[in-house]
Structure formats: C-alpha cells, structure tokens
A and B are shown apart, each in its own frame.
Chain A
C-alpha cells in the first residue's frame, strides 16, 4: 500500500490553521497514524487510529478520515509545531509503510 502526502512542504505563520492530507492507494479502514519529527530528533506519535490523540499531545492537533483519505489538522500553528509530519498505515501488516512526509516551515 502506497501513501501519498500533500503538500510535500508548506509555509505558514504562527496562528494559522494547517491541513495535511494523506491518501492511501487502497482502503486501510482507520489504521493510520501521524508522527511529528523535528531535526535531529526521533519521530513522535501524535495520532493513531486515524483520529485518536496520543496522550500528552496538544488538542490543537486533530486527525480525521477513513478508507483512503485522511487529514491532519493543526488548528492554530505554534512555534514548536514547525517540523516534518509523516503518516503511516498499519492495515497491511506485517508490511507497514510511511508517507513521504510534509515539511511545515515558517512563513
């Protein structure tokens, strides 16, 4: 299963609403997770099961979708949110895949 993220990069300002999409090449139900990675750091789990917020993650992050189309939304972008975001599908185990990533930069 291939995951296509769009856009591959975006520029936004603090306070902006940001939306990242992830499209699967075939249906994956709700077996989708989102991760945030900052430079030089390991990825951090934000959302699993498409829309469940991981413990400790700010509520400005939200996820939606099922089947083939998914969305990660940051309701009000904060300075610490500038990072690269990846989606991951867990439906076709034992083979799992990540999307190509979306880099969120400061405008």
Chain B
C-alpha cells in the first residue's frame, strides 16, 4: 500500500525550531519529487516547499524562505522539514505529498494525513 506518514508536529514557542518527518512506503521513493503543503485552521492550502528526486532542485514559498529547510534521505525513504524561527502564522496542519514525477513540475498524487504544528507562547 502506498503510504505517507508524517510525524514531529506539536506545540512550540515562537522563535523555536521543529523538525517534521515523513516516512514513505509502497513506492520507489527516489523516483519522485516530494513536497510539504500546509493548511492553517479553517484556511486553504499553501504549498511550503518541494524537492526533486535527487535533491537537485528545491523550492520554497516566500513565506518560509530562509527559515525552513527541506531535505530527503532516499536510503531511508524519508522526507524532512527543518523549521526554524517559527512564528504564530506557521500554525497549521502540515502535509507531506508525493509528486507524480521526478521533478517539481508534477501534481501531487499521494498525501499523508498531516501533522499539526502549533506555534504559541
């Protein structure tokens, strides 16, 4: 079964850091681009970051550029999001998503169930 399972969310104070993980199974992980997408409570979807199959192409939304870092470990079938200098506006459900292809130019066909990040003092 193709599956993505996110972990690492929680309650964190503003200015602190958090690292999200996404464990993939049921497909050849290193054949596909991967992404993080977030959704603030009651709001729409916001693409956060994406990484190509070999980490050669990486992109970030302007709202997180310079604070968040995406990475992947193909040997461990895992995707990560290092989030630094967290702000209240980063509070959201964070989804891991699989691209249909190897580069960032493909739609997202598999999604995890998300991990909640709450930034509050």
Contacts and interface: CB of A to CB of B under 8 A. Distances in A.
A12 interface: no
Interface residues of B, number: 26
B102 to A, nearest CB: 12
A94 B106 contact: no
A100 B44 CA distance: 6
A36 B17 CA distance: 32
B103 interface: yes
B107 A45 contact: yes
A42 B107 contact: no
A94 B104 contact: yes
B109 interface: yes
Nearest to B65: A95
A90 B106 contact: yes
B88 interface: no
Given A45-B109, A93-B103, A94-B58, A86 B44 contact: yes
9 interchain residue pairs of minimum CB distance: A94-B59, A33-B107, A42-B111, A48-B107, A93-B104, A101-B44, A98-B45, A96-B47, A45-B109
Given A45-B109, A93-B59, 11 more contacts: A33-B107, A37-B45, A42-B113, A42-B114, A44-B111, A45-B108, A84-B44, A93-B105, A94-B50, A96-B35, A96-B104
14 contacts: A37-B45, A42-B95, A42-B114, A44-B111, A45-B100, A45-B109, A93-B50, A93-B103, A94-B57, A94-B58, A94-B59, A95-B60, A96-B35, A100-B44
